[in-house]
Amino acid sequence: MSNVEDELEAARQSSLFVGSLEKGLQILQTFDRERRELGLSEVVGSSGLDKSSAQRFTFTLHALGFLKKDPVTRKFSLSPKVLGLGFSYLNANSLLEQAMPLLYQANRRCGESLNITELLDTEVVFIARVPGQHVISVDIFLGARVPAYASAPGRAILAYLPDAGRKAVLDRTDLQKFTRRTIASRTTLERELRAVHSQGYSVAEEQCYLGEISAAAPILDSSGYPVAALNVSVPTSRWSAELVSKELVPIIVETAAAISQAQGGVTTHRWSGKLAPLKGRPRKLG
């Protein structure tokens, strides 16, 4: 059992823990791309709840407007009201309030897709995105998650976690290969994280997805703790890892540092002078 599961199990023993709320959230988390519509029996099978509980919770969530119910098939699906939960988080996030103007500035300089991610257990979740200006780009949706160990933003965060915190995350992580390039060795990964910490940024080529190169730098609070990461994602059809390091990494590191400072945080790397807008050979759209 992982530390997260241990902590949850311990919390369940508290008189303050509301088990019915946990079950209601279980219902909402049951729906995904593969399970877009579910009948009651399917909800029971997917959520692990008994039929009586599933029936009461789906009825309540439908009455509250979080679930839709097809009048013919009687199957449930998520309603747009669920999005309100996510947007409440985005609107209340002071980091994004400070970061978005800087994100747009960086996007105008490089023309590529930029993202902000936060660590969620062993994954990073995308909480902000400014799309690139090219026809061919790396398409990622807000709320998407990827394994932290197999992504540039995940490595940027992991590298700056306290040793005990980083070890705990890696201990809970199932290291596996997504492409032939994925680092799935604990020893090799820890060596890579030390390099990321030393240089202040991470570059990952086809670690999670084929045809993607990503570069990331951590966003740090006043104690140097990585609260998030800024990353750029580009296709291998237009970029090489060498060019990303040369042309995009300086913009990413400088912007992450500016966001950190806007939050009262510290920076990972000092660049000589103010970076000028990106120059170099024109890039063909498409």
Nearest partner of 133 among 110, 117, 116, judged by Cα:
110
CATH architecture of 93-262: 2-Layer Sandwich (3.30)
H or E stretch including 219?
strand 212-220
Instruction: Report the C-alpha gap between 258 and 219 in whole angstroms.
Output: 9
**Least reliable range by pLDDT among 59-68, 137-146, 188-197, 236-245:** 137-146
Within 8 A by CB and 6+ apart from 259, the residues are 95, 98, 99, 102, 219, 230
- Structural domain spans, the chain: 3-81, 93-262
Burial of 114-130, coded b for 16+ CB within 10 Å and e otherwise, reads bbbbbbeebbbbbbbbb
Distances (CA, A) of 121 to 29, 106, 170: 16, 28, 10
pLDDT of residue 92: 84
Give pLDDT tens digits for 122-181.
Answer: 999 999 999 887 755 556 778 889 999 999 999 999 999 999 999 999 999 999 999 999
Q: What is the pTM of this model?
A: 0.80
Residue 157 CA to residue 201 CA, distance in Å, equals: 10
93-262: same fold as 3-81? no
Q: Give 263 or 223, the one with higher predicted confidence.
A: 223
Q: How far apart are CA 170 and CA 173, in angstroms?
A: 5
Select the highest-mean-pLDDT range: 88-102, 206-220, 259-273.
206-220
Long-range contacts of 88-91 (CB under 8 A, 24+ apart): 89/127, 90/127, 90/128
Q: In the Cβ-directed half-sphere of 28, how many Cα atoms lie within 13 Å?
A: 19
Top-confidence residue, 137 or 282 = 137
80 with 66: CB under 8 angstroms? no
Does domain 3-81 match CATH 3.40.710.10? no
d(CA 209, CA 231): 15
* Alpha helix (H) residue ranges in 64-185: 81-92, 94-110, 152-160, 163-172
Confidence of residue 268 (pLDDT cuts 50, 70, 90): low
């104690």: which residue's tokens? 223
pLDDT tier at 34, thresholds 50, 70, 90: confident
- 33-47 average pLDDT score: 91
d(CA 258, CA 122): 26
pLDDT at 97 over 60: yes
Q: What is the pLDDT of residues 229-248, one digit of tens each?
A: 999 999 999 999 999 999 99
H or E element that contains 69: strand 67-69
The answer on pLDDT for 271 being more than 60 is: no
Mean pLDDT of all residues in the chain? 88
Q: Which pLDDT band, with edges at 50, 70 and 90, does 286 fall under?
A: very low
- Amino acid code (one letter) for 35: R
Radius of gyration of the chain (CA): 21
